[in-house]
Structure 1
């Protein structure tokens, strides 16, 4: 592995996985210019002045800057809007408390899951859109709980999934490989799911930028490619480059990206996890050699210890207005 060279800030940059991107693209970690490094510093300084102290590490700020073409003011606005949303949605608390007990039943109508890795070592994310039946699903769950589950999975993608994959691959991995199965999707079903899909897409684009590595749309119905071509000109060329629209004969191209043993049998692979691939959550993040406790969990425990320190039974009760002391 190449030597890691970065202008990191020790106050915020505490990584225990590789931090050089395998893609030698401008603005990606390990491939930044002095001007881009200066913009990271500028963005962090501006956010600190606004009172922000979380998620100011270099890798995160670079993602927001890339998403806004390194226009610092635009990246700052995007970051602040993201933090506002996180607070309103309760993201930090949700990820450790949310229990999606209805997942097996919901997956009968809308499977969405991470499963092993592609040839680049990235997590593979799979959605089967053709089975969506919101009427049936809303008898089991609610749209709010579906979005809560989506957010929790994005948080787990950030940590522990991507760090574990980075350790195993020996290189920084910041994106995932997405497979969206369109089999059974018809024009009549589009309107019924549009509201949820629109909300889910907005969360992805606005609050978790630069997480898409490759997108394979398989079993695309006739005319889909033509329709996509009509809107392609409105999309960022970098995004368009990541999208592959495939019909029913998708297996050879998909298997060129995902190892056969990592791909579920129904998509042409050989994987058949006990209990079903959809519910296995198999991947490096489940392997003790590569995974670590999420940093948010360690941080939460540390904060609890600071707030409620253990005291001797015979110690006098502290006055409510006494100043608390804590070590940094």
Structure 2
């Protein structure tokens, strides 16, 4: 899924030279030369961002800069911070080294592809070059997906049979790291192979194609899909898209949506920026006429109201193992090089392309958290099981983070949840500044049940080793961590991490 971005705190942007950074997507030369933005506001914003970026800003085309500008609602300092953050994420995780399918190589596709010149029509196949084992394994649990032709504007169409997903099977048999790895490979393929072709076939001097149209078919959706860990995996993908791939969604059509979807969407909606929500169209059962307003019939699968069947390909337009219109893909692993971060993720050795802790994420209902995309995960593996992160919040901003305790975590026991805080940096003049270390509440409880009491600590009294806060998770759910400065005497930069592991031998006094 592609989504617009959350805003971030500019002072946490990674300091990397523009000249050494690669762009978040490698645009075609034709795109780089285009000047499609004619409004005075757009022109001024693009030039303003270039001025902020300084020498080397010509590495970015206007379209790329505008995506970050729009994602940050024309906050240019914030746009710069998010752009640099996405570049650092790509560099740290070697995203630009991913082997993606293209017209000049034999790399296998990650999902069904229909109608493009760059890559012949194909389905994912085990044993094809650079198709990792986990990409094959997860096909058994996905309802089916395909990059299927283009809409009337020339944007590529991604179709997913969301209602057919075996969510519990996916969560049980595919790790979040593997799903994220798969998602990144698919996203990079669309941005770096398909969209340049769209530009060549359908673009013009005044028209840039850098977004995609998405159709989610909810046929078959039921209560069996309301699985917490599966939803957490989806949350990981949307969080990453919002941070690393802003403004890549054109329109999202959700069709055949049952009443159950209202419940699911009420949760998912909290994760999304209002700009993304405006692009989502929930159509229910009577969707054909709306889709045909945006997609020519010959480019729309017949099960969605079009005339296309892709009868020349096994599985038709959108192959689905679960719907039995194609045989299961056999598992013949072709692992990535051992030195790749992707290999670590695939082998379960601790690597994670998303580079965020499994258990901690900004809470969408917290305005300060929404402004904190640049909570930056320090590169490298977690130390002593705790990921090192950095956050900075000004006075009167309470930043909240969700701590995920899954069904599996509490299956056999009540696990220990440990949070660690350490002062990373204090910006002047912070003498005597106090801050809230931690406050926990369970889920969305209206009575505000406090599991770990709020406590205040003066900066000058903070131990070098930091603070540890522990509590026993009696049931699965989302726990909420909150911290904020007590007054407005500068900024506090805080490292923090969360781990959910082990058992408490006895209750811990906090």
If the TM-score is normalised by the length of the shorter chain, which range does it land in?
Answer: 0.5 to 0.7
Secondary structure of the residue aligned to 1:256 is helix
Aligned residue for 2:295? 258
* Counterpart Cα distance in 2 of 1:19 and 1:182: 40
* Counterpart Cα distance in 2 of 1:211 and 1:230: 22
Q: Does 1:106 align with 2:115?
A: no
Specify which structure has the higher proportion of helix: 1
Distance change in 2, residues 1:136/1:232 (3 Å): closer
Q: Which has the larger radius of gyration?
A: 2
* Counterpart Cα distance in 1 of 2:197 and 2:181: 23
Scaled by the length of structure 1, the TM-score of the pair is 0.67
Aligned pair partner of 1:149 in 176, 182, 187: 182
Aligned residue for 1:325? none
Q: What is the correspondence of 1:1-328 to structure 2 with a 5 Å cutoff?
A: 15-17=29-31, 29-33=37-41, 34-45=43-54, 56-96=60-100, 98-100=130-132, 103=135, 106-110=138-142, 111-137=144-170, 141-171=174-204, 172-190=208-226, 191-222=228-259, 224=261, 238-273=275-310, 274-276=313-315, 277-278=317-318
Report the CA distance between 1:78 and its aligned residue. 1.0
Q: Give structure 2 stretches of 5+ with no counterpart.
A: 1-22, 101-128, 320-510
Report if the CA contact (8 A) 2:168-2:230 is conserved: no
Distance change in 2, residues 1:41/1:139 (3 Å): closer
Distance change in 2, residues 1:246/1:101 (3 Å): same
Report if the CA contact (8 A) 1:220-1:245 is conserved: yes
Scaled by the length of structure 2, the TM-score of the pair is 0.45
- 1:55-106 deviation digits (Å, cap 9, x = unpaired): 6333212211111112122112211221222133321122448424565663
Specify which structure has the higher proportion of strand: 2
Secondary structure of the residue aligned to 2:50 is helix
Q: Compute the RMSD of aligned alpha carbons.
A: 3.4
Q: Give structure 1 stretches of 5+ with no counterpart.
A: 1-11, 22-27, 280-328
Report if the CA contact (8 A) 2:155-2:211 is conserved: yes
Distance change in 2, residues 1:37/1:95 (3 Å): same
* Counterpart Cα distance in 1 of 2:171 and 2:185: 19
